[in-house]
Amino acid sequence: MRLRSLPTLVLVPLALCSSALAQNFSYPNFNSTAGLTLNGSAATNAGVLQVTPNAASARGSVFRSAPVNVAGGFETSINFGMSATGLGADGMALVIHNDPRGASALGGDGSTMGYGNQTSFTPIANSLVLEIDTYDAGTPWFDPNANHFSLQTNGTGDNNAFHSLSIGTASPLEDLNNGQVYKLTVRYTPGLLQVFFNGSGTPLISVNYNFATGGTWLGGGTVGGLNLINGTDAYVGFTAACGGLSQSHDVYNWLWLGAATPPTAFCTAGTSSIGCTPAISANAQPSVSGANACTISIAAVEGQRSGLVFYGTDNSGFSALPWGPGSTSFLCVKPPTQRTPAQSSGGNIGQCNGVFALNWNNFQTAFPGSLGQPWVAGEKVYAQGWYRDPSAVKTTNLSNALELTYVP
């Protein structure tokens, strides 16, 4: 059962959503390239990001125009495809860097795949690269084969496609040059870098790596980390290149999810008739997979009161509404809203030791048709507490509110 929307009342600027959340962005397609910088041969074609066309010596790069936080952790996914008539070359790469050229960075053509050093082109320095390599270039690159992934870094120095700079490599069974669309996911938690391919839950590559301290080359020896902007941020995007042989390098969509920050409280809680000021919080962000045990709690409620948690999914353009004339509470969540089951605060009558608690995962499982389902990573939940207070205006009061963001 959903809460009834309130009539429009005088708006007061007290409920400002916190913006201190992870840096997330999504391109379901590339009909718009807002927020991106395209360099060299890169272009869009019918909503597809073509990092290079199928043309000899083409080279291109595409980066988010503004750097994002990578040091705290992230998960990024793309659907991509590469195709050629016959043997195709050379491949494309996911690139994370703080090269002095910023979002305009572009390296060489051919076997360097748009990020490395080739003839007179300047390589992308201070970078970590995931190659999607479809050509065995032989000496001096020493590729393992013509169908592989490789994580390449030279710390803060110039990066290149030499496999002496590889910290992890793997060869999928699938032909990367057959024109099919594949899914690639890269997940970084500080100290661990993982690459997942084609929807598998088992990483194709898993290596110990940290942006601050670096990792270990497969051939032996340690390599340092990157010099990030403010110690945390970098430019993220793609490069690709062709040489004498060519292929198209296409990205169909792109999702980036930054490390989840804690759930964020906002708005102003009402004060109950005996002076209690309830405070809402959660122990973790909710997750689409249910991996996080997310519990929403409202503490400092009057003891032995009935109440509930309600929530909405879109607070855009919404300012807090007074709960009623003379009430100290404000409605902080934009309708339409969804009620969760009623509960008792427990505690003692006349004291502020009552608590409401909602196991968010259990609620979603028990009520599969509730507002917002099915959830997608990056979507938000705005939650608030409601409770009985017979001596208050409207005989009820509200807590402050909480903004949560779904993670994978």
User: CATH number for the domain including 95?
Assistant: 2.60.120.200
Range of the domain at 309: 264-405
pLDDT of residue 260: 64
Q: Are residues 326 and 249 in the same domain?
A: no
pLDDT of 189:
87
Q: Of 90-104, 219-233, 258-272, 315-329, which range is least confident? A: 258-272
Average pLDDT over residues 65-74: 93
pLDDT at position 23: 75
CB 113 within 8 A of CB 239: yes
pLDDT surpassing 50 at residue 315: yes
Same domain? 120 vs 47: yes
Q: Which of 258, 290, 315 is where one domain is finished?
A: 258
- Tell me: do 281 and 144 sit in the same domain: no
Are residues 231 and 283 part of one domain?
A: no
* Model pLDDT for residues 198-216, shown as the tens digit of each residue: 989 899 999 999 999 999 9
Query: Is there a single domain that holds both residue 199 and residue 274?
Result: no
pLDDT of residue 159 exceeding 60: yes
Do 91 and 239 have their domain in common? yes
- Look at residue 15 and tell me if it is in a domain: no
**Domain identity same for 270 and 170:** no
In CATH, what number is assigned to the domain containing residue 341? 2.60.40.10
pLDDT of 196: 96
Per-residue pLDDT at 12 exceeds 90: no
Of 230, 258, 286, the residue at which a domain comes to its end is 258
324 and 237 inside one domain: no
**254 and 274 part of one domain:** no
Is residue 3 in a domain?
no
Closest CA to 192 of 202, 205, 178, 183: 205
Examine the domain organization and report whether 253 and 322 are in the same domain.
no
Encode pLDDT of 21-45 as tens digits. Answer: 457 899 999 999 999 999 999 999 9
The answer on 328 and 281 residing in a single domain is yes
Final residue in a domain of this structure, among 258, 274, 305: 258
- The total of structural domains in the chain comes to 2
